[in-house]
Amino acid sequence: MKKPVNALLVHPKFNANSFWNYSVACEIVDAKYPASPLGLITVAAMLPAHWTPRLVDRNCETLTDEDIDWADIVMIGSMLPQQLDALQTVKLAQSRGKKVVMGGPDPTSSPDCYDIADFLVMGEVEEIMDDFIEAFERGDESGRFKAELFKIDVTKTPMPRFDLLKMENYLHIGVQYSRGCPFTCEFCDIIELYGRRPRMKTNEQMLSELQALYDSGYRGHVDFVDDNLIGNKKAVKLFLPELIRWQKERNFPFEFSTEASINLSDDRKLLDLMSEAAFFVVFVGIESSDEETLAAARKKQNTRRSIPDSIDDIYRAGISVVAGFIIGFDTEKGSVYGPTTQLIHDTKIAVSMAGLLYALNNTQLSRRLSEEQRLYSESHVMLEDATEAGVGDQCTAGLNFDTLRPRRDILQDYRDIIETIYAQDAFVDRVKRMAETLEYNHPHRMNWGVMKKDAVQFSKLAWRVTTQHPEMRGSFWSMIWYFLRKQPRSLKMVVLFMTLYVHLGTFSRYVVKEIDRQIAVLDRNAALGDDALSDRELMHGHFDGALDAAQ
């Protein structure tokens, strides 16, 4: 009989200063974090029967000394926004005499950042998990394991261990149908990690995962975390009718969100199938209003079309849109403030995730900038220099390269965009016009479990706005009464986006303040002349010191 192994799976904290943490929205519904750690619970399903997994999500709960002391091995998965906490967790575990294995997208793209880990697993873990387990069980002290790119057969990926999750901690639970994306966007690392040929699970496999989630008692929002759900339209069109049947048989226990390319709008049949299956929101990467910029960034699927008309086509299927925009491309010839804010207004996209361009490791963009000697070599977080409060996301810590357009001009455009689009009146106007455009063509039966969650969320939001946000009170209640009278089916979407604004309004003010500080440093730096710190030095953790010195 093999010796039992206690495996502690740790999900590091995401950067607290993030567009995506929705902390206030989580508080309203008594959740602790938006998304569940799908990667780690999938890894847990790959462990042998004599290994006992325990999950600690540091975004939701405390990692205790007792947890670490219980473990024979500590397993940590990390994305870039988790890098700082991941490295701190490695040191914490090692200080208590434990071996640590690291894996995930960031260790795969930036393995040198994780040299302190005892074991490093790079790439899709299904292919090499057995190699790591064998090495650990024979007593190896360290090791590096790298999977061959894009070779994993996801039809053999085991069902995630949903039983390890504390469901009540999350706004939504994630599942994955496919990996990879057929497009070649220069700034994106998805095609470097997972390839351009989407690989899909079988219909039966996907429905079995949803059934396991259903059997756990969970009801409500499920996120398909796919890089691009419609990367293989033929396959997803065969899957969706089966998903619709499954949903109908159980009275629609789930409602879905996902990410898709904008060419979703070109396929009305696909949109109707997604709507009938109860997809209610989709994230679309728009990036820029300028066709030259889109072409240069190899985002050609967004060119030769009217972006507002394409988004309206998605709305007319009863699906709302959240979108991404990027500021700081080389091809920006002048101010992008006007065109960007106008496009966001015209598309009626309330939640517009505008960020500064960041050259991720192992992308076409980072390789090009490196060849041009413009990429900052220390673009990763330095553990000894960084503090949790001082690390931003792409909203405040982008542009990790020498820009062609003056950095100050880019930052000024960006802060003005954020200030404009997240002004309360502008946000509320977009929510109202978006909700008025939504057309619901597939009535879903009411699921009482979902309705109960919705009612609780609404009552808490209404109380929070009424008692703590007097500046929102008038617009909130006028919107509620308007859609109750005119278009009650859109009311849920209105409540969702107004809930998100409780976070986004506050976060936008934080971003504006931080960008104002960066602009102040650049202005004072320019005034100091030759002795001033360079942009590279400012990006490498010297920001606060530079500001103090300049003052």
Q: What is the mean pLDDT of residues 476-505?
A: 91
Count CB neighbours of 232 within 10 A. 19
Range of weakest confidence among 156-160, 183-187, 483-487, 531-535: 531-535
Query: Which residue carries 């039992």 as its tokens?
Result: 4
Which residue in 141, 179, 551, 539 sits closest to 376, CA to CA? 539
pLDDT at 548: 46
Question: What whole-number distance in Å separates Cα of residue 64 and Cα of residue 67?
Answer: 5
Question: What whole-number distance in Å separates Cα of residue 312 and Cα of residue 28?
Answer: 30
Confidence class for position 535, pLDDT limits 50, 70, 90:
low
* HEC assignment per residue over 341-356: HHHHHHHCCCCEEEEE
| Helix extents (H) in 327-439 | 337-347, 364-371, 407-421, 424-437
Question: What whole-number distance in Å separates Cα of residue 121 and Cα of residue 119?
Answer: 7
pLDDT at 379: 43
Q: What are phi and psi of 54, to 5 degrees?
A: -135, 130
Range of weakest confidence among 183-197, 267-281, 493-507: 493-507
Residue range 101-113, pLDDT digits in tens:
999 999 999 999 9
Question: What whole-number distance in Å separates Cα of residue 376 and Cα of residue 364?
Answer: 15
Output the CA torsion 114→546→389→325 (10° steps): -80
Element (H, E) at 23: helix 23-28
Q: What is the mean pLDDT of residues 155-167?
A: 97
Count CB neighbours of 294 within 10 A. 22
Task: Report the interhelical angle of 268-276 vs 307-315 (nearest 10°).
Answer: 40
Q: Are 278 and 256 in contact (CB under 8 A)?
A: yes
Q: Are 105 and 77 in contact (CB under 8 A)?
A: no
Q: Are 133 and 102 in contact (CB under 8 A)?
A: no
pLDDT at 538: 57
Is 80 exceeded by the pLDDT of residue 426? yes
Is 70 exceeded by the pLDDT of residue 530? no
Q: Are 93 and 65 in contact (CB under 8 A)?
A: no
Residue range 4-27, pLDDT digits in tens:
999 999 999 998 777 877 877 788
Is 50 exceeded by the pLDDT of residue 536? yes
pLDDT at 531: 44
Question: What whole-number distance in Å separates Cα of residue 192 and Cα of residue 184?
Answer: 10
pLDDT at 551: 42
Is 70 exceeded by the pLDDT of residue 383? no
Q: Are 157 and 201 in contact (CB under 8 A)?
A: yes
pLDDT at 542: 43
Q: What percent of the chain is predicted at pLDDT more than 90?
A: 79
pLDDT at 534: 57
- Any idea what the Cα angle at residue 491 is, between residues 488 and 497, rounded to 5°? 165
DSSP per-residue letters across 299-353: -GGGSSS-HHHHHHHHHTTT-EEEEEEEE--TT--S--HHHHHHHHHHHT-SSEE
Q: What is the mean pLDDT of residues 500-519?
A: 93
Exposed (0-12), middle (13-18) or buried (19+): which is 348, by Cβ within 10 Å? Answer: buried
Residue range 26-78, pLDDT digits in tens:
887 788 999 999 999 999 999 999 999 999 999 999 999 999 999 999 999 99
Residue range 246-281, pLDDT digits in tens:
999 999 999 999 999 999 999 999 999 999 999 999
Chain-centroid distance, C-alpha 132: 28
- Integer angstrom CA distances of residue 385 from 375, 539, 540: 20, 12, 9
- Integer angstrom CA distances of residue 466 from 161, 292, 477, 478, 491: 40, 46, 9, 12, 18
Is 90 exceeded by the pLDDT of residue 444? no
Confidence class for position 541, pLDDT limits 50, 70, 90:
very low
| Helix extents (H) in 138-267 | 190-194, 203-215, 233-249
Question: What whole-number distance in Å separates Cα of residue 95 and Cα of residue 91?
Answer: 6
Q: Are 293 and 260 in contact (CB under 8 A)?
A: no
Q: What percent of the chain is predicted at pLDDT more than 70?
A: 93
Is 70 exceeded by the pLDDT of residue 148? yes
**Residue 7 DSSP SS3:** strand
Q: What is the mean pLDDT of residues 463-477?
A: 87
End-to-end, the C-alpha distance of the chain in Å comes to 68
- Integer angstrom CA distances of residue 199 from 129, 287, 421: 19, 25, 37
Predicted structure pTM score:
0.93
Question: What whole-number distance in Å separates Cα of residue 358 and Cα of residue 394?
Answer: 7
**Mean residue pLDDT across the chain:** 91
Q: What is the mean pLDDT of residues 342-368?
A: 96
Is 80 exceeded by the pLDDT of residue 427? yes
| Sign of the CA dihedral running 353, 355, 359, 360 | negative
Q: Are 343 and 323 in contact (CB under 8 A)?
A: no
Q: What is the mean pLDDT of residues 451-462?
A: 82
Query: Which residue carries 């106007």 as its tokens?
Result: 429
Question: What whole-number distance in Å separates Cα of residue 426 and Cα of residue 188?
Answer: 30
pLDDT at 546: 42
The string over 47-81, giving b where at least 16 C-beta atoms fall within 10 Å of a residue's C-beta and e elsewhere, is beeebebebbbbbbeebeeebbeebebbbbbbbbb
Task: Report the interhelical angle of 424-437 vs 407-421 (nearest 10°).
Answer: 60
Q: Are 394 and 358 in contact (CB under 8 A)?
A: yes
